[in-house]
Amino acid sequence: MKRKKLLQALSELLGQKKSKKLKHLDELKTLLAKLEVKRIELKEKIPLEKNKRKRKRLGKELEVIDAQHAKGLKNLQKLENS
């Protein structure tokens, strides 16, 4: 291949990587938004629940969602900086 075709192929390849990265960022942002909605719902449900076992289970679920949200934010920051 000539130099011009090689450069064109390389730019197409890099463009694909960038578009994949942008798609991944968009998916991660929508996932984080859904987790935030779920977290708010759980925070509202816990005080209203009368059954102690259910409250405890909801609390554990909230802890898991908080951990997932924190991990997702950390990954989002890494992707945006790279």
pLDDT band for 63, please (50, 70, 90 cuts).
very high
Q: pLDDT per residue over 24-33, tens digit each?
A: 888 999 999 9
Is residue 19, in this structure, part of any structural domain at all?
no
Is residue 60, in this structure, part of any structural domain at all?
yes
Selected residue with higher pLDDT from 4 and 76: 76
Q: What number of other Cβ atoms are within 10 A of residue 47's Cβ?
A: 8
Is residue 65, in this structure, part of any structural domain at all?
yes
Sign of the dihedral through C-alpha 9, 15, 21, 24: negative
> pTM of the predicted model, to two decimals?
0.72
- What mean pLDDT is reported for the chain? 86
Range of the domain at 47: 24-81
pLDDT > 70? residue 61: yes
Please tell me the total count of domains within the chain: 1
Is residue 10, in this structure, part of any structural domain at all?
no
pLDDT for 20: 76
